[in-house]
Each structure stands twice: as structure tokens, then as C-alpha cells.
């Protein structure tokens, strides 16, 4: 008579993927950037037009590096 070997146990389920905290994004949209600075969209776009905040083109989208927003605030603090 043949000896039956037990079937191997199935592998454990994969670890759940942790969602990235949106506050940790490196680049943000116009509206998100304005909101982070606590100003309106129009004022934010004026700052971009004046060259005080530099945009990044990503395909058709225009995004703003969070570090660029921090640089702008630091420059404003030094100037005041």
C-alpha cells in the first residue's frame, strides 16, 4: 500500500500594501500647492508668473515640488 504524503500548506498571503500618505508627495498640483501655502489659486499663479515659484512640467501636467514651496517660504521669511 502507498503512503500518502500530506499536501504542502499554501504560502502565507502577501503583506498588505501600505498606501502612501498624500502629505508625503514630492510634487503637487496648482491647487494643492496654493492650499499648502494658505493662499488662493490666483495669487499662487501670480507668484509663478513673477518667477518666485518654479513649476515642473510632467507631460501635460504642471506640478510643483514641495521643496520649491519650502524654498519660497524660506526666502520670504528672510526678506521680511
**Residues 56, 58, 64, CA angle at the centre, nearest 5°?**
35
Euclidean distance between CA atoms 48 and 61, whole angstroms: 15
Q: How far, in whole angstroms, is CA 41 from its chain's centroid?
A: 18
Euclidean distance between CA atoms 42 and 50, whole angstroms: 12
The full set of domain ranges for the chain reads 26-79
Whole-model pTM: value is 0.70
pLDDT in tens, the chain (80 residues): 566 777 778 877 777 666 666 667 899 999 999 999 999 999 999 999 999 999 999 899 999 999 999 999 999 999 98
Amino acid at each position: 500500500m502507498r503512503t500518502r504524503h500530506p499536501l504542502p500548506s499554501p504560502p502565507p498571503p502577501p503583506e498588505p500594501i501600505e498606501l502612501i500618505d498624500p502629505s508625503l508627495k514630492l510634487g503637487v498640483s496648482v491647487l494643492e500647492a496654493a492650499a499648502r501655502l494658505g493662499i488662493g489659486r490666483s495669487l499662487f499663479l501670480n507668484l509663478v508668473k513673477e518667477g518666485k515659484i518654479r513649476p515642473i512640467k510632467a507631460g501635460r501636467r504642471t506640478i510643483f515640488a514641495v521643496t520649491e514651496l519650502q524654498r519660497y517660504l524660506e526666502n520670504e521669511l528672510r526678506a521680511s
